[in-house]
Amino acid sequence: MQVARLRRDLAEARGKVCRAKAGTLDHVSSTWRTIAIDRGDHGVRVDLVLLRHLRDERAVSRNRIQKWIDDGEVLVNGAPPSRAAWRVQAGDELSVRVEHWQPRARPAAQAMDLEVLYEDDDLLAINKPAGLVVHPSYKNAGGTLINGVLERAKAWPVGSRPSLLGRLDKHTSGAVLIAKRPAVHAALQRAMEARLIDKHYVAIVWGRPSPMRGTINLALDRDPWDRRRITVTDRGGQPSVTKYERLAVSSLGPPPLAGALAKADTFSLVRCRLITGRTHQIRVHLSARGWPIVGDAVYGRKRAGGEPAALDELAYAFPRQALHAWRLSLRHPVTNNPIEIVAPLPDDMRQLAAALCLPTVALAKVAP
């Protein structure tokens, strides 16, 4: 209690300094939105709390929230937090400037055939196919995973509200975890922050990762020349760690595959475990080490001149990044029982692995 009281006193003191410098906060209260921090938000980063509470506002993103924090447009108990990683406490008062906001249209429920991997009163896990967008945007107003989940949520108890725990890129397949209530989502966010949720992915890559097992520790940041891309940086950036294991390497098969493979590149089946969860992390990390994911249009290998070997041509023709969110391991946020959610490797990646002569015994290692 003394620590919490001291924290509030310090925040109030900082707030007085801030108001004295700005001289404007007291008379613009009508442009500030106040959020009371409850037990579900206790101990969570301030940027993640805002992202959860403001998800119905147009054009609100984590990057934009972090900019608001840097610009002093977010206050905790009347004072700007020192950084986006500042953790709020139950009873704190969070304020954010809301000038020029427009309400975001709520996603519509749409009937959709979804493959359910796990479901109980608190959680839902869906096996997302490649090509399905996770959340509506100005480019994809409907036909997304969330639209389908909202249709399913009509049968849930009153007060339920689906919220995603992380996202997958459009062309990445695999397990997506969804909380059914805000308190469950907040508990899962805390578990992620504490690295208590294991996320394992499977990828088919160019090359032969060496050593067989290892850790990629490379900071990531937005590409200054193309904000849609992520790049490795040695100037700040977000610390990013991926553990990997090489499960198999393409092997010579019986003729005529042996002749085709002899001139082709090597391909590998790799399992990755996220220690941190940055945008495009696995794709960028593997590419930076010289093992780009097959089919990755952004970070993958580009066609060289000349006629490619037959197996190389198969890899170049694969229509999406060969990356699959395979397994989630966690403690249930309500019962504390262990849960393991496994999304079977999709047919397109199985067929690609077979065509590239990756041993079938390797696929057994990532079987349900």
Q: Would you say the CATH fold of 195-364 matches that of 2-97?
A: no
Higher-scoring residue by pLDDT: 352, 59: 352
264 falls in which pLDDT band (50, 70, 90)?
A: low
Q: For residue 361, what pLDDT is reported?
A: 72
> What is the chain's Cα-based Rg?
23
The domain at 195-364 falls in which architecture?
Answer: 2-Layer Sandwich (3.30)
Q: For residue 353, what pLDDT is reported?
A: 94
65 falls in which pLDDT band (50, 70, 90)?
A: confident
Q: How far apart are CA 207 and CA 244, in angstroms?
A: 14
Q: Token match 């990390």: residue?
A: 285
**Closest to 33 (Cα-Cα) out of 57, 59, 10:** 57
Query: Does position 152 have pLDDT exceeding 80, yes or no?
Result: yes
Query: Does position 11 have pLDDT exceeding 90, yes or no?
Result: no
| Ranges of each domain in the chain | 2-97, 109-183, 195-364
Q: For residue 215, what pLDDT is reported?
A: 98
**Closest to 248 (Cα-Cα) out of 129, 352, 130:** 352
Ordered DSSP codes for 45-112 = BHHHHHHHHTTTBTT--HHHHHHHHHTT-EEETTB--SSTTPBP-TT-EEEEE-TT--BPPPPPP---
Q: For residue 365, what pLDDT is reported?
A: 73
User: What is the rounded (10 degree) CA torsion for 302, 305, 309, 313?
Assistant: 40
- Of 94-98, 225-229, 296-300, 334-338, the range with the lowest mean pLDDT is 225-229
Mean pLDDT of 220-238: 84
Q: For residue 39, what pLDDT is reported?
A: 67
- Of 113-122, 199-208, 301-310, the range with the lowest mean pLDDT is 301-310
Query: Does position 104 have pLDDT exceeding 80, yes or no?
Result: no
Q: How far apart are CA 130 and CA 168, in angstroms?
A: 9
- Percent of the residues in the chain that have a pLDDT greater than 90, as a whole number: 50
Q: For residue 36, what pLDDT is reported?
A: 80
2-97: CATH class: alpha beta
Find out whether 202 and 269 touch, Cβ atoms under 8 Å.
yes
Q: For residue 360, what pLDDT is reported?
A: 67
Ordered DSSP codes for 249-295 = E----STTHHHHHHTSPPEEEEEEEESS--TTHHHHHHHHTT-PBTT
27 falls in which pLDDT band (50, 70, 90)?
A: very low
Query: Does position 212 have pLDDT exceeding 80, yes or no?
Result: yes
- Of 66-75, 250-259, 344-353, the range with the lowest mean pLDDT is 250-259
- Of 16-20, 145-149, 263-267, the range with the lowest mean pLDDT is 16-20
Query: Does position 273 have pLDDT exceeding 50, yes or no?
Result: yes
Q: For residue 138, what pLDDT is reported?
A: 63
Q: How far apart are CA 198 and CA 341, in angstroms?
A: 10
Mean pLDDT of 130-139: 84
Mean of pLDDT over the chain: 83
Residue 80 to residues 7, 33, 84, 96, 310, Cα–Cα distance (Å)? 13, 14, 10, 10, 59
109-183: CATH class: alpha beta
- Two tokens at 31? 């442009």
Higher-scoring residue by pLDDT: 30, 192: 192
Q: Which residues are catalytic?
A: 169
